[in-house]
Chain A
Amino acid sequence: MGSQTAAGSSLAISVASPATADATGYAALTFTDVGQVEKLGSIGASFAKVEFQPLKGAKQKFKGSADYGALQPSMALDSSDAGQAIMQTSADDESQKLYSFRVTYPDGAKRYFGGRNFGMPETADGADSMLTGAPTIEICTKIVKVAAPTT
């Protein structure tokens, strides 16, 4: 599949960790979809830039440490949604436990990773807006990419 819109994408969470940090390991887990998600945000690693300016010549640039980034979805708060309840549990968890996450794109492609939820602040904005939650999921493992199934 070529380009696609984000409509139909989903976010899911599991309290379990995979036996192996690969597609097979993550696929064996049971995930619970998070309901009422409005946006998922950016997902992907970036590298620190290490620069060196020699006295003679152009500035040299090197790739430094990897940062797997953070996922910052937003959702309309729904106290009856199981996925949001698990998300809240992960936000309240004061341990260093890793939760497993799965992002699914409309074509069926998946992104798996382990992460820690650093908080889920709630926002009550104007009268004509929904009460929303905006967790910050710091991605702590390499993101496992699974291509869309071929048809």
Chain B
Amino acid sequence: MSVTTATPIKAFVLRDFKDATTEESFSAKDTPDLEAGRFENFRAAGLVRKATAREAKPAA
């Protein structure tokens, strides 16, 4: 598998975690835009999943 696309993916954070690469912290239920390779790393570890269309919508 090769992940090279730069298209960001809207993720849904499943639990609190931090990324030592960027020192960025994520909280459960956040919906950050993640670069595809970064998303795949986090998804494989069970930290995020793709956000549903409803979750991806900004809060009104």
> A residues near B, CB below 8 A?
12-19, 28-36, 80-83, 85-86, 88-89
Contact = CB atoms under 8 A, between A and B. Distances in A.
B6 to A, nearest CB: 10
A80 B19 contact: no
Contacts of B1: 15-17
A53 B60 CA distance: 82
A85 B19 contact: no
Interface in B17-53: 17-21, 35-38, 40-42, 44-47
Most central of B3, B16, B18, B44 by chain A CB within 10 Å = B44
Contacts of A33: 19-21
B7 interface: no
Given A13-B41, A28-B4, A30-B40, 5 more contacts: A19-B2, A28-B2, A29-B2, A31-B41, A81-B20
